[in-house]
Every structure is written in C-alpha cells, then in structure tokens.
Structure 1
Amino acid sequence: MTSLATLPGFLAYFLAGIVLLGGAMAVYVQVTPHSELKMIRGGNTAAAITLGGAMLGFSLPIASAFQHSVNIVDAAVWSVVALVVQIVVFFVVAKLLGSEWRAAMERGETAGAVFKASAAVAVGMLNAACLST
C-alpha cells in the first residue's frame, strides 16, 4: 500500500501542528486579561466566541506554514510569527472597542466577541496567504 508510505510524515506534521496550536492557545490565554477557559466553563458565550476565533486565526497560518515551509522547524518559526500577529490583533481590537469591552465580555455580551473573533480569523487568513509569497 503505497498510500500509507507518507503516514510517518503526516503524523509528524499533524502532531507538530497540534503542539503548535496548543502552545499558541496556551500563550494566548496567558497574555489576555481574561480567564477564557474558566468563563467558557461557566457558560460565557462571548468568551467561547473570542477564543474560538483566536483558535481559527492561529490554525490558518499554521496550516499554511506547513504547506509552504521546507520543514517542520521553518513552519514552527512562521507559526510563532502568527502567534505574535494574533496577540497584536487582540490588543488593537480591544483598543478599538474601548475600555468597556472587558466588562462586556465578562457579562457574556457577544457583539464585541464576534468582532474580535472575526478580526482574528480575517488576520489569520491574511497571515496564511502571505506565507505563500
């Protein structure tokens, strides 16, 4: 079965992708001023939307990095760049939303969360596309 010949490479890249995504999410939740996971466990939809958007925003450039990089190390470097970009986007959008965004998130209000998630996905898509140039 020649179709399974690439299975070791697939497993290496897939596991590296999971580690990179998990690492990016771990850094993200440490840098942001909320305890998103605690809020999500408490049923806060706004936190789930924001964190979900960030996860998509991270996964898109990680996937693109794997597609366009010469090896896993190169992809990991570009994944770290994507993490930095996403953290900057978080704080830029927070600034745009004003000082009330934090309390709104804690109350579970979703308008700002949808905007933050959309910005994370949009910038993640742009970031992913730029990796192919």
Structure 2
Amino acid sequence: MLASSLTGFAAFAAYLATAIVMVGVFGTAYAFMTPHREFRLLRQGCAAAVPAFLGALIGYVVPLTAAMRWSANLMDFVIWAVIAAVVQALAYVATRLIVPDVSTRITNNDVSAGALLGGIALAFGLINAASMTP
C-alpha cells in the first residue's frame, strides 16, 4: 500500500524543487530589477519594503501554483513560471507609471507606497493565475 502511495513522489519532488528554485530566482531577480534594494531595506528594518516585496513574491507564487497544476510536464511548468515572472515585472512597471517615485518612497519608508506596490503585484498575480486555465 505504501509503495502505491509513493508512485508520484518523484514527480512531486521534481515540481517542488523546481518551484523553490524558481521562487528564489524570481525573488533575487526582482530585488535587483527594482531601484530600491529590497534585501538591503529589509535588513535595515524598512517597513515599507515588506508589503512591496511580499506582494511581488505572493503575486508570483499564485500563478506559479496555477502553472504547476495545469502544466503538461516540468518544462511546460518552467515556461509558465518564466511568464509569471515577466507579468510581475510588468506589475512593477505599471506601478511606476502610476507613481513614478514609488521606489524612492519605499526607500524613504513610506509604507503606503510599499502597500500599493505589493497590492498591485498581487492583483497582477491573481489575474495571471486565473488566465492560466486549460
């Protein structure tokens, strides 16, 4: 019985490991893409960086899980994970169009700017995930 329960373990492990790597790569790339340096700001205790960065991460992970659910195979999953990352980059660009100084405001610990950026990132992520249907 245990052997039959573990038949999908290899696929589970492959998808889990790939997703964790993709989240790490996305988080690192996103932190370097934005003019405000999230990791530095977070280490300094900048409260505004928290909702901004978490919004981007969650906005990425939500479509990542949708891609994991609907992908035909691991390579298909990776392709859709990259698309999800591009959508998050577009969320940042869209926010910059609305509030051009959002990164400066986050660096200056304006929590409302961080919350706005995080909220827009999450909204883009939810729409992105909903769009990933078979």
TM above 0.5: yes
Q: Following the alignment from structure 2 to structure 1, what is the Cα–Cα distance between the partners of residues 16 and 97? A: 35
Query: For residue 41 of structure 2, what is the aligned residue in structure 1?
Result: 39
Q: Percent identity among equivalent residues? A: 28
Q: Which residue of 2 is the match for residue 58 of structure 1?
A: 60
Partner residue, 1:20: 22
Give me the whole-angstrom Cα distance separating, in 1, the residues matched to 2:8 and 2:70. Answer: 17
Flag structure 1 segments of 5+ consecutive residues without an equivalent. Answer: none
**How far did residue 105 of structure 1 move?**
0.8
1 CA distance for matches of 2:6 and 2:16? Answer: 15
SS in 1 for 2:72: coil
Distance 1:111 1:54 in 2: 15
Aligned to 1:73: 75
User: Which residue pairs with 1:30 in the alignment?
Assistant: 32
| Correspondence for 1:120 | 121
Quote the Cα distance in structure 2 between the aligned partners of 1:10 and 1:107: 42
Alignment partners' CA distance in 1, 2:80 and 2:50: 26
Task: Structure 2 unaligned segments of length 5 or more: list them.
Answer: none
Report the counterpart of residue 97 of structure 1 in structure 2.
99
Detail structure 1 runs of 4+ shifted over 6 Å in the superposition: none
Q: CA deviation at 1:30?
A: 1.5
CA distance in 1, matches of 2:22, 2:104: 30
Is the 8 Å Cα contact of residues 55 and 122 (structure 2) preserved in structure 1? yes
Q: Is the 8 A contact 2:63 2:129 kept in 1?
A: yes
Distance 2:103 2:119 in 1: 17
Q: What's the RMSD between the two structures over aligned residues?
A: 1.1
Distance 2:11 2:82 in 1: 21
Separation in 2 of the partners of 1:98 and 1:127?
Answer: 23
| TM-score normalised by length of structure 2 | 0.93
Aligned residues: 132
User: In the alignment, residue 39 of structure 1 is paired with which amino acid?
Assistant: L
